[in-house]
Amino acid sequence: GAVVSQHPSRVICKSGTSVKIECRSLDFQATTMFWYRQFPKQSLMLMATSNEGSKATYEQGVEKDKFLINHASLTLSTLTVTSAHPEDSSFYICSATDLIYGYTFGSGTRLTVV
């Protein structure tokens, strides 16, 4: 089956620094990737939709200058949280989709900003 690798699984960073999260589709080409954010005991909230080679589409209320998304190839999308602050601490999950496998989710990244 399809596998999406998300890295790192956990990261702790200092306030004001930037953190990059990678999402890779390992055995299929993902035309579209999605980034979600999940606060404790809450549901997944879509942050942005990323298509290979084009600019990401951000959901309302998500700062595109703060959450930089790059989808440079059909197997890799990155989310960079710039100038992170404690309120950015959350669980970030990516998802990749193609016509055969549908949606496949990464294992998530726990970001803690101290």
Partner 1 sequence: SQQGEEDPQALSIQEGENATMNCSYKTSINNLQWYRQNSGRGLVHLILIRSNEREKHSGRLRVTLDTSKKSSSLLITASRAADTASYFCATYPSGSARQLTFGSGTQLTVLP
Smallest separation, CB 62 to partner 1 (Å): 11
Residue 12 or 18 with smaller CB distance to partner 1: 12
Q: Work out the burial of residue 61: count CB atoms within 10 Å of its CB; fewer than 13 is exposed, 13-18 middle, 19 or more buried.
A: exposed
**CB neighbours of residue 111 within 10 Å:** 21
Q: Are strands 109-113 and 4-7 parallel, antiparallel or unpaired?
A: unpaired
What would the x/- binding string for partner 1 be over residues 38 to 77, using CB under 8 A? ---xxxxxx--x-------x-xx-----------------
Amino acid at 96: A
Only one of the segments 13-21, 33-41, 62-70, 80-88 lies at the binding site for partner 1 (rule: CB under 8 A); that segment is 33-41
3-state DSSP assignment of residue 47: strand
Residues of this chain that interact with partner 1 (CB under 8 A) are 6, 32, 34, 36, 41-46, 49, 57, 59-60, 91, 93, 95, 97, 102-108, 110
